[in-house]
Structure 1
Amino acid sequence: MMLQQYEHILVAIDGSYESELAFKKAIAVAKRNSAELYLIHIVDTRAFQNVSSFDSAMVEQVTATAKKTMDDYVAQAKAAGLDNVNYSIEYGAPKTIIARDVPKAHNIDLIMIGATGLNAVERLLIGSVTEYVTRNALCDVLVVRTDLNNQPALATTKAPTKEK
């Protein structure tokens, strides 16, 4: 009997400490499963809606920055011994892209996502992406709450403040 194996693991990269942890753990899971690691970065187009003229130069700059970041992540994953690493940059609302669109398009069978450090009020107002994905994804979702030593990560989310 075959053990459950994941073949296509999705991680959304958003520059947060939590997504960094999810990425690092996903490398280990992908290696154990000989799986493809698929990374996405989402340019939330709603952030541009307040810009009077939808400035294409701004979007191009954001895209160029995202591409450089993603190339760095791919290099890190390959340096860690993973061969099958791909990424895409998507445009739109993160919730549905992570939960539905990309998993359908790329046969994703596991989404690894960081636990967001939103407080109750923020969650009420904007709704946590993680919460939405765990409720609506059609595949397994692993919410990463610990660092690589399995220590609770949220205690360390705040960067140490420099002494004056």
Structure 2
Amino acid sequence: MKEVTIMLQQYNHILVPVDGSYEAELAFKKAVAVAKRNDADLHLVHVVDTRAFQNISSFDTTMVEEVTDTAKKTLDKYVQEAKDAGVTNVDYAIEYGAPKTIIARDVPQNLDIDLIMIGATGLNAVERLLIGSVTEYVTRTAVCDVLVVRTDQENKPAKAPHQDH
């Protein structure tokens, strides 16, 4: 079967937000393939939503440190996976603040990103109603192209192993 290349746009700097969710992992795996085909730089970002800690009365820095350490382990694994797959330029950043604006504007402007590849959503329906989907916000306001990943490597609809519907 012959592969048909529809996207003739050459992307040089691809951003993938990763949050530990199954959807983010799908986006990462597809981004590795796109980065390799385009000989592009792959930038991973994990945003620690500091607002989530504001309502915790016993808040201390060890909580943020634990979240950061977990993110580092995941990101290190992803960087190695991308390199093993043949992506030569891959790095990551851990940012602190509001994920929506960091992913849609701050990181893309700072790193000259021309494509964001993002998972459909890692939130459940109730969380989406309350705080809104980061993905939805990014697709509406990003300063560059956005590709929302909804399928796996074989372009089959993604269904997380842990989904209950």
Q: Same fold (TM over 0.5)?
A: yes
Correspondence for 1:113: 118
Aligned counterparts, 1:16-95, within 5 A: 16-95=21-100
Aligned counterparts, 1:1-16, within 5 A: 3-16=8-21
Q: Could you tell me the percent identity over the aligned residues?
A: 75
In the alignment, is the contact (CA less than 8 A) between 2:50 and 2:98 conserved in 1? yes
Q: Does 1:159 align with 2:135?
A: no
Q: What is the CA–CA distance in structure 2 between the aligned matches of 1:102 and 1:31, rounded to whole Å?
A: 21
Paired residue type of 1:84: N
Q: Does 1:132 align with 2:137?
A: yes
Q: Which residue of the other structure, out of 99, 117, 140, is the alignment partner of 2:104?
A: 99
SS at match of 2:47: strand
Shift in Å, 1:63: 1.3
Q: What is the CA–CA distance in structure 1 between the aligned matches of 2:163 and 2:45, rounded to whole Å?
A: 28
Shift in Å, 1:71: 0.7
Shift in Å, 1:85: 0.2
Correspondence for 2:4: none
| Unaligned residue ranges in structure 1 (runs of 5+) | none
